Amino acid sequence: MTAVAEPEGTAAEQPVVLQAGFRPFFLLGTLYAAAALAVWLLIFAGVVLPRPGTWSVIYWHGHEMLFGFVTTAIAGFLLTAVPNWTGTARVAGRPLALLVAAWLLGRSALWGALWLPAWSPSWLVAAADLLFLPALAVAVGRPILRAGKRHNYPVLGVLVLLTAANLGMHAAVLGIVPFGVRLGLHASLYLVCALLAIIAGRIVPLFTRNTLRGNGVAVESSAWVERALVPVMGFAVVALVLRPASLAAGVACLACGALLVLRQVRWQPQRTLGVPILWVLHVGHAWLAFGFLCLGANVFSPLLPASTALHALSAGALGTMIVGVMTRVSLGHSGREIRATPLVVAAYALVIVGGAIRVLGPLLFPDAYRTTVLWAGTTWSSGYILAAIACWPVLTRPRVDAVAE
């Protein structure tokens, strides 16, 4: 991604952390990933006991990992990438601070909901939490629509659908709609994975090509695979939401997983093994393919529980790809060398291993489910703690050069 220049003097008048969208949101994302999961583990272990309220702890956990953690990565990436896609000025200063405030308000509301009694005004929780995504959609949607670049419209569409899914979850909690919170949670996960597939299709081959340039390695995307992937994944998401156990959903998920594998093979992942900041993105994409294959297999075989696929997509694909993108973008857009330090590599390893334990542990050791979940969460959360430590000086200090972010 290339830099978009701002008016001279603008950056100097703003706090460093508000000079570009990736700075506050990637910082908050790494910290929140570790904190939200740590609290969930304490609840799961029985150390912390929330009051019985309107939000069950299971759905609270899922909601906050998606709408608390994952949305910070989406916001940080899009607020950084959209100005480069459209040639427009970045969101910074006061407008960026307002977006951060909207996110913080939503998180405060949901954390309160975990301990509020059932009679408390849940509509206030919903109102507070529903501010952030529409505000983000406006911030990135206006330049996308003005630029008229239609290939970026699906990104805006996913944000709108995520807002609708979040609204549906709150409506279910409030008893306004008859269907459950689970539907909105699963729909949100599949939508985020669809967005991940779109973004990965742009950045992974680009970064790989740039890194391997001059080594005689051809890194290409297959035109027919890319054309087929969007409608197939779209159909899979719709089928998973409406008829998750149907033959159509199973076939669509298997086809989607196969297309993701074919796509990645052409990106030469085996050539990236010596470059951690690159191979982590390939591992994240491989998790995505594995997750959709598991979703498809679950329809045809009860031996593979749905939770395996769901955590392959969440803890595996989203967790790995996000930590990889956060660290890479933070370094590149702060003028630093794009190279993973030993601390960052350790963060990658812990996130990947934590995801693997969460996915495979219950299958290999069904009698030790509680233990494997605790080990998985602790390992995964520790990875994000290391990522936060590594990213803190990068995100809170000025660029090391004089180029606008």
- State pLDDT tens for residues 210-231: 888 767 677 888 889 999 999 9
CB 86 within 8 A of CB 149: yes
CB 137 within 8 A of CB 160: yes
* Per-residue pLDDT tens digits for 45-61: 888 877 666 788 889 99
Residue 211 parent element (H or E): helix 181-212
Cα separation of 242 and 250, whole Å? 13
Q: How far is CA 330 from CA 215, 228, 273, 313, in A?
A: 26, 32, 21, 24
What is the phi-psi region of residue 148: left when phi exceeds 0, alpha when psi lies from -120 to 50, beta otherwise? Answer: left
Q: Which amino acid is at 59?
A: Y
Closest C-alpha among 57, 54, 70 to residue 125: 54
CB 183 within 8 A of CB 57: no
Give the model's confidence band at 152: pLDDT under 50 very low, under 70 low, under 90 confident, else very high: confident
Neighbour-count burial of 105, counting CB atoms closer than 10 A to its CB (0-12 exposed, 13-18 middle, 19+ buried): middle
Q: What is the pLDDT of residue 1?
A: 41
| Helices within 114-180 (DSSP H only) | 122-129, 132-147, 153-173
Place of tokens 């430590």: 389
Q: Which amino acid is at 25?
A: F
Q: Is the pLDDT of residue 39 over 70?
A: yes
Angle between helices 22-44 and 319-332 (to 10 degrees): 150
Q: Is the pLDDT of residue 3 over 80?
A: no
Cα separation of 188 and 371, whole Å? 28
| Helices within 220-300 (DSSP H only) | 223-242, 247-265, 276-300
Structure tokens at 46: 């029985």
Cα separation of 133 and 130, whole Å? 7
Q: Is the pLDDT of residue 118 over 70?
A: no
Cα separation of 341 and 360, whole Å? 28
CB 78 within 8 A of CB 137: no
Report the percentage of the chain scoring pLDDT > 70. Answer: 93
CB 211 within 8 A of CB 282: no
Place of tokens 């982590």: 280
CB 34 within 8 A of CB 17: no
Closest C-alpha among 261, 267, 253, 263 to residue 223: 263
* Per-residue pLDDT tens digits for 65-116: 999 999 999 999 999 999 988 888 899 999 999 999 999 999 999 988 877 6
Domains of the chain, earliest start first: 13-396 (1.20.210.10)
Cα separation of 275 and 269, whole Å? 11
HSE-up (13 A, CA, CB side) for residue 106: 28
Angle between helices 122-129 and 153-173 (to 10 degrees): 170
CB 385 within 8 A of CB 34: yes
Tell me the average pLDDT of the chain: 89
What dihedral do alpha carbons 241, 247, 249, 250 form, nearest 10°? Answer: 130
Region 106-130: mean pLDDT is 81
Q: Is the pLDDT of residue 117 over 70?
A: no
* Per-residue pLDDT tens digits for 157-212: 899 999 999 999 999 888 888 777 889 999 999 999 999 999 999 899 999 988 88
CB 4 within 8 A of CB 89: yes
* pTM listed for this prediction: 0.91
Indicate the length of the chain as a whole number. Answer: 405
Cα separation of 142 and 161, whole Å? 17
